[in-house]
Amino acid sequence: MPSNLRKIIFVTLLLLPFALRLSAPSRESQIILYSRPIEPYKQLIRAIGIVETREDTLAYNPIEKAAGYFQIRPIRLEDYNKRTGSHYKMRDLFNYEISEKIFLYYAVQIGPYNFERIARNWNGSGPRTIHYWNKIKKHL
Per-residue confidence in pLDDT tens, the chain, 140 aa: 667 767 777 767 666 676 666 666 667 777 777 778 888 999 999 999 999 999 999 999 999 999 999 999 999 999 999 999 999 999 999 999 999 999 999 999 998 889 999 999 999 989 999 999 999 999 99
Q: Using only the alpha carbons of the chain, give its radius of gyration.
A: 30
Domain assignment present for 98: yes
Domain assignment present for 56: yes
Domain assignment present for 33: no
DSSP state letter for 96: H
Domain assignment present for 126: yes
CATH code of 86's domain: 1.10.530.10
Could you list the residue range(s) of the whole structural domain that residue 98 is in? 42-137
Continuous segment of H or E residues that includes residue 67: strand 66-67
Domain assignment present for 26: no
Domain assignment present for 9: no
User: Cβ atoms within 10 A of the Cβ of 127, count?
Assistant: 6
Domain assignment present for 12: no
Distances (CA, A) of 68 to 11, 77, 134, 138: 79, 12, 22, 21
DSSP state letter for 140: -
Query: Domain total for the chain?
Result: 1
Domain assignment present for 25: no
Contact by Cβ (8 Å): 59, 53: yes
Question: Of how many residues is the chain composed?
Answer: 140
